[in-house]
Structure 1
Amino acid sequence: MAFTHTVLCQVGLPRSKVEGREFLRQSGATWINIQAGVLDEGHGPVLQPIPYGVMPRLALAWVSTFAMRNDTPVIPLGDSAAEFLRLMGMDDQGARYTTLRRQMHALAACRLQMGYKGRNVPNMSPIRQFDAWVSNKDEHQRALWPGTMTLSTEYFSELKDSAVPLDNRALLALKGSALALDIYCWLAHRLHRIQGRGVTLYWTNLREQFAQEYRGKDPDKDFKKEFLPALKKVMAVYPQAKVKPVTGGVLLLGSPPPIPYKGGPGV
C-alpha cells in the first residue's frame, strides 16, 4: 500500500519543464499553485525550477507513504542517492542521479498552495527541511547525501486527514510515464465515489484537468492521442477500473478502489 495527497490525485504537478516561475492548474473546485524557490546548494542561493515529471511524483508518494505508515514527518532517505532510487523502485544509472538531485532540490524549495471546495491552504509546501545535495564531481559520494527529509506540519496534517491509498506495485509499473501516474491516482480517488449510470467526461474537460498546456490547432485531439495509450497502461495495473472510451471522451463507472478502504482517515 502507498499513499498520496487527495489534491494531487485530482490536479498533478507539471509533467514537463515549466519555463516560468509559477504553475497553476485547476480542475473543478480543486487547484494547485506552485512557485519556484531558492535553495542554498553549498555556495549560496540558487534559483530552482518548478518540480516536474516522474521523479517528484514518486518521491512524494514514497515519503507520504512512509509518513502514513510510521506516523512521523521525519523521513529517512537511505544512506545514499542510489539507495533512495532503489527504495522508489528506480535503477541507479548515472542520469538518474542528476534528475533526482535537480527535482528533489526543486521540490524542497518550491512554495505550494492548494485549494479545494472553497478551502484554501495558502502555504503547504510538502518539505520543511531538506539539506541540499551539494554539488561535487563525485555525486555518488556518501557524505553529500542528506539522509533525512522533514515534511512540513501543514502537509503532514493534511496528509493524515486526506491521503488516498494506492497500490505501490502500480506506481512502480507506471514509473515511465508521468501522465499514466496521474491517471492512475485520479481513478483511484474518483471511481469508487461514482454511483448510478456513471459519468461521461469529454476531451475538453479531461484536457483542462490534465493538460492545459496543449494549445495547438486541435488540442483535444492531440491530448486524446497521449491519453488513451496512458489509460491502457493504467487499466493493466488497475483491472477493477471500469473506464470505457466513448464518442467524444470516456465513461467512468463505479469501481472498487485499488486498495479497499477499511475506515478511518485516509485508510
Structure 2
Amino acid sequence: MPDTPIVKDADLKKQLRDASRFKLPAVRDVEVRQIIAKQVARNEERAAREVELSAMPREKQRRARTLDHFQQEGSKNGDVGHFHSVLAICGLPYERPPIELREFRCKQGNMGITVQAGSSMGPDGTWIDYPVPFGPKSRLVLMHLCSEAIRQKSPTIEIADTFTAFVRDMGFTDSGGKKGPLTAFKEQLNALAHCSIRISSTEPNKVKDNQFFPIEEMEMWLSTDGLQQSLWPSSVTFSGVMYESLQSHAMPFNLRVARALQGSARKLDIYFWLNWRMYNIKTERAISWNALRDQFGLGFSRQRDFKAQFKEEITHIQELLPKAPLELTESGIILQPAEPGMMELPKYISPKKV
C-alpha cells in the first residue's frame, strides 16, 4: 500500500479523499502514488528553502519568511493592526536621547508634533524622570496599544496578558532583568504613559494646536518586595482626546510587515508613512529628497549618506511588499495609489481616498 500518512498538505489530502471514487484498485493506486510524489517533492523543496533561509542574516531572514508567508497564504484578517495616522506621519526619536532632553519636535509638511517627556513618583516615593519615547520598541508599543484599543473597542486596554504575548509574537523573548526585552518594552510603555503630545497644523491664515496626554491612566501591580520595582501594568487608558482621534484616524497596517521590520525605527516609520500615503492618494505623488530628509533624516549631516540609507531601507520594504507602487528617482520618490492587496491588507478594507 502507498504511504498515505506522509500526505499533510490540505489540498493533497483532499485529492486523496477524491481518489476513492475510482472503482479499480490499480487506477486508484496510480493516482495515490502521484499525490504522494507531489507531497515528497514539496517537502524536499521546503527543506531546501529552510536551509537557504537559515543561512541568511537575521533581518533578511525575517523579511524572506514573511514574503514566503504572503506568497503561500496571502494576508489574513488577523494580520491587520491599526496605528494613528498622525503618528505615522510625524515620528519619534530613533535613538535614546539624553535624559536631560525633555522635548522632541518633528515636522512634516504643514503638520508638526512636539513630545514632552514626563515623570512620576516611584514605589519608594522618589521621583522618576522618564525619557522621551524613542526607538523601534516605542513604535511597537504604540502600534500594539492602538490596535488593541480598536480591537477591544474601548479606551481602556487590558494588557496584563496581551502585552507579554505581543512581545513574544514580535519575536522577542519574554525575559525580564536589566537588559531583558520585557524591561526595554516596559521602559517605552512608561515613557509613553508619562509624556504629553502637542500636534500642530497650519493652513492659510490659520494655525491649530492640540495638546494632550496619550495615556490618561495606567494601573500597575506593585511588588511586596522592597528591592523590586513595579511589575507589568494590568491596563492603560487612552485619554478621551487620544481615543476619539484614534477612532477617526486609525490607519490599518499589516502586523507581519511590522514584525519583519521590528529592529529598525526608521524602517517602521517609512513603512507606516508609505502605507498611509499610498493608501490615501488618487493620483501620482512625487516627494523630493529634501522633503524625505526633513522627515526621515534625523542623525544625518550629509544628503548623500541619507539617500544611500533611505534607498537601502526602501529596498528592504520592497522585499516585503514587491507590488507596492513606488519608484526611487534622482529627484526623490514617486508614489502611486495602492489597492489594499498591494500593501498586504485584506480586500475587505476599503481605503479612504483624498
Q: For the residues of structure 2 that align with 1:185 and 1:80, how far apart are their CA atoms?
A: 23
Q: Write the letter of the residue equivalent to 1:221.
A: R
> Which residue number in structure 2 is paired with residue 244 of structure 1?
327
> Which residue number in structure 1 is paired with residue 216 of structure 2?
128
Q: For the residues of structure 2 that align with 1:88 and 1:108, how far apart are their CA atoms?
A: 21
CA contact (8 A) 2:262 2:268 kept: yes
TM-score norm. by structure 1 comes to 0.86
Q: Over residues 8-32 of structure 1, what are the superposed CA-to-partner deviations in whole Å (9 max), with x where a residue is unaligned?
A: 1111111112231111100001111
In structure 2, relative to structure 1, the CA distance for the partners of 1:209 and 1:112 (3 Å cut) is same
Identity among equivalent positions (%) equals 30
In structure 2, relative to structure 1, the CA distance for the partners of 1:205 and 1:149 (3 Å cut) is same
SS in structure 2 opposite 1:144? coil
For residue 279 of structure 2, the aligned residue among 182, 188, 192 is 192
In structure 2, relative to structure 1, the CA distance for the partners of 1:28 and 1:261 (3 Å cut) is farther
Q: Over residues 34-86 of structure 1, what are the superposed CA-to-partner deviations in whole Å (9 max), with x where a residue is unaligned?
A: 01110222123211110001111111111111111221011111349744522
For residue 34 of structure 1, the aligned residue among 109, 115, 131 is 115
> Which residue number in structure 2 is paired with residue 208 of structure 1?
294
CA contact (8 A) 1:41 1:132 kept: no
Q: Over residues 234-260 of structure 1, what are the superposed CA-to-partner deviations in whole Å (9 max), with x where a residue is unaligned?
A: 122223311111113222222224335
Q: For the residues of structure 1 that align with 2:188 and 2:148, how far apart are their CA atoms?
A: 19
* Residue 87 of structure 1, CA deviation: 5.0
In structure 2, relative to structure 1, the CA distance for the partners of 1:121 and 1:134 (3 Å cut) is farther
SS in structure 2 opposite 1:122? strand
In structure 2, relative to structure 1, the CA distance for the partners of 1:88 and 1:112 (3 Å cut) is farther
User: How many residues were matched structurally?
Assistant: 259
> Which residue number in structure 2 is paired with residue 110 of structure 1?
195
1:1-267 alignment, distance < 5 Å: 1-19=80-98, 20-43=101-124, 44-79=126-161, 82-86=164-168, 88-94=170-176, 95-116=180-201, 118=203, 120-131=208-219, 144-196=231-283, 198-214=284-300, 216=301, 218=302, 220-257=303-340, 258=343, 259=345, 260=347, 262=349
SS in structure 2 opposite 1:100? helix
Q: Write the letter of the residue equivalent to 1:240.
A: K
* Residue 188 of structure 1, CA deviation: 0.8
Q: For the residues of structure 2 that align with 1:93 and 1:239, how far apart are their CA atoms?
A: 35
Q: Write the letter of the residue equivalent to 1:207.
A: R
Q: Write the letter of the residue equivalent to 2:285.
A: V
Q: Over residues 115-167 of structure 1, what are the superposed CA-to-partner deviations in whole Å (9 max), with x where a residue is unaligned?
A: 3455745323221112457697667xxx8222111111110000000111101
Q: Write the letter of the residue equivalent to 2:85.
A: T
> Which residue number in structure 1 is paired with residue 52 of structure 2?
none
Q: Write the letter of the residue equivalent to 2:155.
A: P
Q: For the residues of structure 2 that align with 1:107 and 1:129, how far apart are their CA atoms?
A: 11
* Residue 264 of structure 1, CA deviation: 9.4
Q: Over residues 162-219 of structure 1, what are the superposed CA-to-partner deviations in whole Å (9 max), with x where a residue is unaligned?
A: 11110111111111111111111101100133344x22222211010122442x2x2x
Could you tell me which runs of 5 or more consecutive residues in structure 2 were left unpaired when the two chains were aligned. 1-79
* Residue 93 of structure 1, CA deviation: 4.4
CA contact (8 A) 1:37 1:49 kept: yes
Which moved further from structure 2: 237-246 or 64-73?
A: 237-246
User: What's the C-alpha RMSD, in Å, of the aligned pairs?
Assistant: 2.6
Which structure would you say has the larger Rg? 2
Considering Cα pairs closer than 8 Å and 6+ residues apart, tell me whether 1 or 2 has the greater RCO. Answer: 1
CA contact (8 A) 1:200 1:252 kept: yes
CA contact (8 A) 2:170 2:262 kept: no
Q: Write the letter of the residue equivalent to 1:126.
A: P
Q: For the residues of structure 1 that align with 2:290 and 2:254, how far apart are their CA atoms?
A: 29
Q: For the residues of structure 2 that align with 1:28 and 1:261, how far apart are their CA atoms?
A: 31
